[in-house]
Structure 1
């Protein structure tokens, strides 16, 4: 490896390991070797690398969805804008070395491609955040297609050997996102094995990615381990939430493979123990049952009740009022507001039915064998929290870290 290639390879190795201070020190040492001449392309390039290290650090700490500040006197200082400015800086450096025999031109072209890739991922996260904030269901197929487009567009870009370290972690990030979004899509379709394989795939890639990190330490006495970066922790949290969702959607299938005691123990370790939440609510508020069911009807004007399988129920049985529940869901043409339960009282059987759409064709239903008001806050609060967590809405919204 040539000396110039080795310098840049080591720089991107530090960046990929989250050793941003080492990356900046590495550049400073190189600047000391550069002759003290008027600022030329080489010096401009080294200055750029220092700025890139700062931008990468901000990216890994979820700095890409902060409030954009614009005015007549102030430029857009969002991280996306910073990367856009970087593209312009690289173009100037590239233009400055066109007439000289230098490898800088090739470096600039490769790094420009990487910057484009970063911007495309920022756009993806922003789209996900906006979807969650819109209080509408997440269209996972759109997100899957966007990740696949990003991956395909960058299969043959920033391929210079110097950029191998950062290319590897970029691939890990795209693969984890793709696996998690696909898992959510397959969960909506109640596909057991595909969901399980995708969740496991994301887990193995996260482990491999973490293995590439050599985090810088803080000198805080016994607190020497620097925590993992916010973006990585966010992906871990999303994976944990999806695993929790999987454990609920396939609770009965999983429970048949172990003892009740072991099943409770395993679920208690999850990010959300949804089944236990259903049990606790049913017992505390004397509900007849709490049910999660799905509707995968083919286009038809007549409801086929066999197409409404119960996903999971507590108590674990089909209630005698199931036909009434299915009819009420079929008659509810629109669920306009997420998290807001629909409450219906049947004078015929003296039962109150509370239900909400968790996501397209999946419903949470609570049955009371007495009259309840739609103003009973404990019902609304339970449904709101339960459904919001299943949709991972809070995790998506947390992409915008207002503390930074």
Structure 2
């Protein structure tokens, strides 16, 4: 039960609309990398509702968990989990905090579905990384905030709650008739949302493990990118079926852009290594599109003002995770430009090709020319080994039905790029 002073009595529809706006703002801020704003949003709502006695134990616990969730999401996008750990230090890693918070969301889900109330539920010892406040003193009230976390408006004519935001809840079309019915709806909704967040944290832990695997592999002399593709593909496919709650759609979109961008970049790396011109080009284009969509839809519009027809915008600070993915894409574009330099040069003028190479993050072709001048070599060339490749047809675009005999002898080592072109 929860209390609401008579002087501040709100209709159920007003309460639902208010809490819907709070949660929508929270998850949108998370997706926009505005983690401090998201944390402040739920903490302010929790404190205001607690002072006005317009909250419940389970709602208080979820808002506290969401505050902690915003803080660790900020650390995640800063890539702090890849920082080396000190010897004999306390285990305060980001992964441990995620696992603790995952357990808290599971606990809230189980208690809500089990119909437990603060008075009948066993006491829980708070952990250092998470604290659940004690429930407020229950006071009888004629009103209810049963839909305080419902993510959709209530029909003004019937007062029913949209089924998309309360799946599996039937027979609560008149949730405001009694405090107990309102409590049931609230607990079921909180449990469902916490269950969705539980699956999201599971997906987050999976992608963190994948980044750690990449970090470990990078210490080797030769990194086997092809072995990474099945892992990230599985994460992408599995996450499409999970955390599908409408309120989590901004968070799911951001997670999808991140994983699909990484998948396409890894595919482009493997395809460039195998001199697959068209597949690599398409993978780079897809990665560029995903990163661009992520930036345009998940970053809040910069405040701007016009002075003499000139727009002056405040730059948006991108987190380290996005910058790393963007830098990886730029590096692969530079590598693609070098490997297929001869093919691309035939489509434009030498001056324009030089300008295109100059605009890449690293002008690898110019570095090759500089090395040729310093070494006083006759020529500098990159040679490709075709052994072990199936259906190799050479660099550039080839019709799918074109039959090409496998290279033999010295033809098995074609030249990728050569300066000056003496062979």
TM score, norm. by length of structure 1: 0.72
CA positional deviation for 1:40: 2.4
Structure 1 distance, partners of 2:263, 2:374, is: 40
Structure 2 distance, partners of 1:70, 1:217, is: 43
The 8 Å contact of residues 184 and 195 in structure 1, kept in 2 or not, is answered as: yes
Aligned mate of 2:238, from 147, 153, 175: 153
Q: Hey, what does 2:144 align to over in structure 1?
A: none
Q: Hey, what does 2:362 align to over in structure 1?
A: 272
Q: Does 1:295 align with 2:381?
A: no
Q: Which runs of 5+ in 2 are unaligned?
A: 1-12, 117-183, 304-311, 390-406
Of stretches 33-42 and 16-25 in structure 1, the one that deviates more from structure 2 is 33-42
Q: Hey, what does 1:366 align to over in structure 2?
A: none
Structure 2 distance, partners of 1:272, 1:190, is: 20
Q: Does 1:179 align with 2:264?
A: yes
CA positional deviation for 1:194: 0.8
Q: Hey, what does 2:418 align to over in structure 1?
A: 313
Structure 2 distance, partners of 1:112, 1:308, is: 52
Q: Hey, what does 1:8 align to over in structure 2?
A: 23
**Structure 2 vs 1, CA of residues 279 and 189 (structure 1 numbering), >3 Å: closer, same or farther?**
same
SS at match of 2:228: helix
The 8 Å contact of residues 43 and 64 in structure 2, kept in 1 or not, is answered as: no
Structure 2 distance, partners of 1:166, 1:104, is: 17
1:58-98 residue CA offsets vs partner (Å, 9 max, x unmatched): 11111221223574xx5422212211111122223223333
Q: Hey, what does 1:99 align to over in structure 2?
A: 115
Aligned mate of 1:190, from 255, 272, 275: 275
CA positional deviation for 1:274: 1.2
Structure 2 distance, partners of 1:233, 1:49, is: 26
CA positional deviation for 1:303: 7.2
The 8 Å contact of residues 69 and 78 in structure 1, kept in 2 or not, is answered as: no
Structure 1 distance, partners of 2:254, 2:388, is: 42
Q: How does 1:332-371 map to 2 (within 5 A)?
A: none
CA positional deviation for 1:39: 8.3
CA positional deviation for 1:191: 0.6
Q: Alignment RMSD, CA only?
A: 2.5
CA positional deviation for 1:9: 2.7
Aligned mate of 2:207, from 108, 111, 121: 121
**Which structure has the greater CA radius of gyration?**
2
SS at match of 1:317: coil
Count of aligned pairs: 310
Structure 1 distance, partners of 2:314, 2:283, is: 34
**Structure 2 vs 1, CA of residues 297 and 70 (structure 1 numbering), >3 Å: closer, same or farther?**
closer
Structure 2 distance, partners of 1:145, 1:6, is: 39
Q: Does 1:45 align with 2:150?
A: no
The 8 Å contact of residues 17 and 214 in structure 1, kept in 2 or not, is answered as: yes
Q: Does 1:253 align with 2:343?
A: yes
Structure 1 distance, partners of 2:91, 2:339, is: 44
The 8 Å contact of residues 254 and 298 in structure 2, kept in 1 or not, is answered as: no
CA positional deviation for 1:249: 0.5
CA positional deviation for 1:28: 2.1
CA positional deviation for 1:139: 1.8
Structure 2 distance, partners of 1:165, 1:32, is: 25
